[in-house]
Structure 1
């Protein structure tokens, strides 16, 4: 199924539950409400509709007539807009204030001239008598400026009945929308039916990094993009209804509090399920969110946690939740900003059961011991490990999408994942559980390593060259710490990790010489500790084959990954031994 067709189908499902606005309407951020008396005078001060407390106030999302699509021109909305249009006031420079307010007044005078509805007549009276200076004269709040404003008649707002909800207002809006419809009739590429074609598609809002006014998936704003004499949307005929449906559901999925979105790298990722009933679809969506976004202990139901536990244990979904495995199609769409347009970063469609199985394989690939503090970190935490300074905006743009593709489809991980992790290790010398887990995942899936060759936990019998060199480097670091303490200006890891993991022959001779001096110092204070450290070094050296060039001039990328794995295991083995010794001492004391 195509992207737009799948989105249109999702709209139909959500429309049945009234979770998306009806045709011709849009869910927008509304900050204030002006209640009007019958003569058009304000019925008191504006009502603040924003939610929250203190300085953390957020506009309320309300369904209002669909906004005009603005580029650089002046285009007022119907029965609502920001204060520069509605009231002629703004907190900014306001170079076009007079023109914007005049356009708003003219549109409503033209549209409502024949109405006899008392609420709409009150609005016309308000616009006739209003001047921008009245804002300050009435003492209306400064924080109202530049917020979106709606109207209500009398005390209708107490029943959540706004001016645009009145039957007369809906009838006028329906006439305006139909009269402005592009008259070109063609076969819609989404529905396959002959229908009026959308010249301009509604804006998509909420894409991270995109314009606040919204972006477009389908747009033709230059002659070079057009073909065969067609103009604007005629070049890719999508009906008015289908264009509205796919943008309405996307805007719903992209809302800040939506449970159908994830931020993966620079891509705003939306996902949804198509099932036989709404509860099953919602359960699949919540499970997917928990897979990649992490469990929210306050919001995730116990059923979702139970499903994830079984998937991670390797149980097929059809064994414990057949209603999720059979007939549940799942869709994942990644959107990245590109000026006024939006780029499709990735698009996946599969049965939920297959996605769950591929996720289980990914969980098995990244298993590492000792594990990170959170045994199942969200995907964004792994991506941060590839970024300079660990910042989301520094995640390589294409890497996030390629990694997600590998996870969801069960294909190989991008090799840029390996190169980025190795580069970060050489740069900041931080060998974390998450980074080592990613290194192991690439070795398992891309290079065909077995659990024995790239072990989950410390393996004292592993004879792989890279793994042994990583272990040896960790022992040398521990020897330095035993001799000099932990308060040295720069450890051998700080100085030599990058070179030792890439060009061991050049570095390990230096490390061995320094280690001899450190062992001598340890032996003077703690002879037993020196013996144990020498045994550890000897055990590792004993696994190295002199005829197999144990200290090669360079290591390949996969061997560097094994170096990191060996280093991580050996370093943490010292902590395990230390904890074991402490426990033994406590038992002896008892």
Structure 2
């Protein structure tokens, strides 16, 4: 069903109008004269150094074997040139294979553009220095195409009618590309025909090779059976294979400032892409609230279109999403979603509701916010399955993972000194609240309020409130500090209150004495608040240790009380 939905998307979006070509970035054009003379190397990159995308003949799937493109390929194939130009790292085998294709097609078609390119390649050894000096650095991965001086500006050699027909013939002929392909029934289309032995690569998948990785591949004997080899073990026609790969590459491609055209990053090792069977604005709306959300768009999504259409009588259009990660040369499908837009809206509303917490009301929390808030310091990133489970809670209405609770608590123990510390605190506590309210199966849900609940019977919650009061007392008494008790004691107090709070209360006596000498009213107010919170604690003494969920209640109590202080200050 997954590949079928991707193939249908490619057909719907017109991505397969010409199955013999694909949109790829071309970095430079080699302009040649009719006699094969090199005229210029014209770069096509934009101000960001990205090549202009053109419809080019599909580049063959390459593993170890040398397989040249059709009049378009990288510098290693076109020029036999790669790496540091000063070291003259040449690739004669690739260049010879590319030249052989050009010469055969030029002789077959008698096309003047093809003959000009063939003449240029015949004199490549002599003209190569003129070409490479036009560019400062060569990696060998620069994609090059040809333009004949006799054509109109903008027309490339491979776009000439005779060459397009020649390429279509080569692609359609049996024995080209899929030389040993069997005729089998396609699992996607249901039609009988030659199957794709090697499937196109999927690019821009985090964790996979930069050159692309395969979603379907069989490259070891252990993966094969019944005498079948490679793609024959999962028979999919060439058209269907190119269709699902084109659809994924289209959604995973960069689009302006957005890393993925139709996907959301889930950290360093995973991405989720989504689409609908029929065009629907919900896809664009999801992008605007799950990935770098804009305040107005997020509020509009969370309040107007979803709440206004919540009955969803006419929202039965199927919605699809898949979470992808990379493992070197393979693409890993971590999760798959399939339900109606009506169910999607209900699930996303539930996601935002579970995360709703007092403060930061300008927009709901996006998945991107959540991932960024729990990433450990450094470049390690979050575990791949954590982002997958989080998007499952957002799109699929599933429980929030317990690992998310642990990650958020772990990050609360590390002080944040930057300007976004307040937002990160809010985000982590919102994730903790959501996990407590919608925990994994087997764990009892907890009632957690959106704002301060002074009457809560939960001891960990009241301990968190007490810590916030003691922190406030220190701040008022010392008129601001560089290192607060939160920086030094928060993690220990949250895990082992019986060890830490006696020490904190002893310090609070010194802070109260200092505050009394300056403001008796403030001192009495804080002292009364401490007594109020202490009165809600059991008389049997301090809890020695708190479990993970209890630590979450502690964090929520701390946040609620701290937020109440800010609310009071704003009102005053």
Judge same fold: TM > 0.5, yes or no: yes
Secondary structure of 1:114 counterpart = helix
- Structure richer in helix, relative to its length: 1
Check if 1:343 corresponds to 2:332.
Answer: yes
* 1:546-561 alignment, distance < 5 Å: 546=539, 549=540, 551-561=542-552
Check if 1:114 corresponds to 2:108.
Answer: yes
**Corresponding residue for 1:586?**
none
1:268 pairs with one of 268, 271, 277: 271
> In structure 1, how many angstroms separate the alpha carbons of the residues matched to 2:252 and 2:146?
26
2:222 pairs with one of 224, 229, 235: 224
Question: Which region of structure 1 is more displaced relative to structure 2, 434-443 or 419-428?
Answer: 419-428
* 1:508-527 alignment, distance < 5 Å: 508-527=501-520
Q: Deviations along 1:313-344, whole A, 9 cap, x unmatched? A: x343456xx66x13x21111111110111111
Check if 1:7 corresponds to 2:6.
Answer: yes
> In structure 2, how many angstroms separate the alpha carbons of the residues matched to 1:517 and 1:233?
75
Work out whether residues 516 and 523 of structure 2, in 8 Å CA contact, stay in contact via their aligned partners in 1. yes
Q: Deviations along 1:116-136, whole A, 9 cap, x unmatched? A: 111112111111122265333
Q: Deviations along 1:458-516, whole A, 9 cap, x unmatched? A: 2222232111100001111111222223234x322122211211121122111111111
1:77 pairs with one of 69, 78, 83: 69
User: Cα–Cα, structure 1 residues 576 and 200, in superposed 2: closer, same or farther, change >3 Å?
Assistant: same
User: Cα–Cα, structure 1 residues 67 and 421, in superposed 2: closer, same or farther, change >3 Å?
Assistant: same
2:366 pairs with one of 372, 378, 403: 378
CA shift, 1:575, in A, is: 2.4
Work out whether residues 348 and 394 of structure 2, in 8 Å CA contact, stay in contact via their aligned partners in 1. yes
Work out whether residues 60 and 68 of structure 2, in 8 Å CA contact, stay in contact via their aligned partners in 1. yes
1:485 pairs with one of 468, 479, 483: 479
Tell me the TM-score normalised to structure 1 length: 0.88
Secondary structure of 1:33 counterpart = strand
1:293 pairs with one of 291, 294, 299: 291
Question: Which region of structure 1 is more displaced relative to structure 2, 70-79 or 534-543?
Answer: 70-79
> In structure 2, how many angstroms separate the alpha carbons of the residues matched to 1:541 and 1:36?
86
* 1:344-363 alignment, distance < 5 Å: 344-363=333-352
Q: Deviations along 1:406-436, whole A, 9 cap, x unmatched? A: 2212121111111111222234477700001
User: Cα–Cα, structure 1 residues 288 and 12, in superposed 2: closer, same or farther, change >3 Å?
Assistant: same
User: Cα–Cα, structure 1 residues 88 and 520, in superposed 2: closer, same or farther, change >3 Å?
Assistant: same
**Corresponding residue for 1:388?**
376
> In structure 1, how many angstroms separate the alpha carbons of the residues matched to 2:148 and 2:303?
53
Question: Which region of structure 1 is more displaced relative to structure 2, 105-114 or 166-175?
Answer: 105-114
CA shift, 1:161, in A, is: 2.3
User: Cα–Cα, structure 1 residues 524 and 556, in superposed 2: closer, same or farther, change >3 Å?
Assistant: same
User: Cα–Cα, structure 1 residues 305 and 524, in superposed 2: closer, same or farther, change >3 Å?
Assistant: closer
**Corresponding residue for 1:584?**
none
CA shift, 1:149, in A, is: 0.8
**Corresponding residue for 1:425?**
412
**Corresponding residue for 1:63?**
55
> In structure 2, how many angstroms separate the alpha carbons of the residues matched to 1:580 and 1:305?
24
Structure 1 unmatched runs, 5+: 276-280, 582-590
1:497 pairs with one of 461, 479, 490: 490
Q: Deviations along 1:501-532, whole A, 9 cap, x unmatched? A: 11211221111111112111111121111111
CA shift, 1:254, in A, is: 1.3
**Corresponding residue for 1:585?**
none
CA shift, 1:95, in A, is: 4.5
Secondary structure of 1:411 counterpart = coil
Aligned residues: 551
CA shift, 1:455, in A, is: 1.2
2:395 pairs with one of 387, 408, 415: 408
**Corresponding residue for 2:569?**
578
Work out whether residues 358 and 563 of structure 2, in 8 Å CA contact, stay in contact via their aligned partners in 1. no
Check if 1:567 corresponds to 2:558.
Answer: yes
**Corresponding residue for 1:588?**
none
Check if 1:259 corresponds to 2:258.
Answer: no
User: Cα–Cα, structure 1 residues 64 and 455, in superposed 2: closer, same or farther, change >3 Å?
Assistant: same
2:534 pairs with one of 527, 536, 541: 541
Tell me the TM-score normalised to structure 2 length: 0.90
Structure 2 unmatched runs, 5+: none
Work out whether residues 21 and 248 of structure 1, in 8 Å CA contact, stay in contact via their aligned partners in 2. no
Q: Deviations along 1:154-182, whole A, 9 cap, x unmatched? A: 25352x32211111111211222223134
Work out whether residues 311 and 357 of structure 1, in 8 Å CA contact, stay in contact via their aligned partners in 2. no
* 1:181-330 alignment, distance < 5 Å: 181=178, 182-257=180-255, 258-265=260-267, 266-275=269-278, 281-296=279-294, 306-311=300-305, 314-318=307-311, 325-326=315-316, 328-330=317-319
Work out whether residues 421 and 439 of structure 1, in 8 Å CA contact, stay in contact via their aligned partners in 2. yes
Work out whether residues 186 and 195 of structure 1, in 8 Å CA contact, stay in contact via their aligned partners in 2. yes
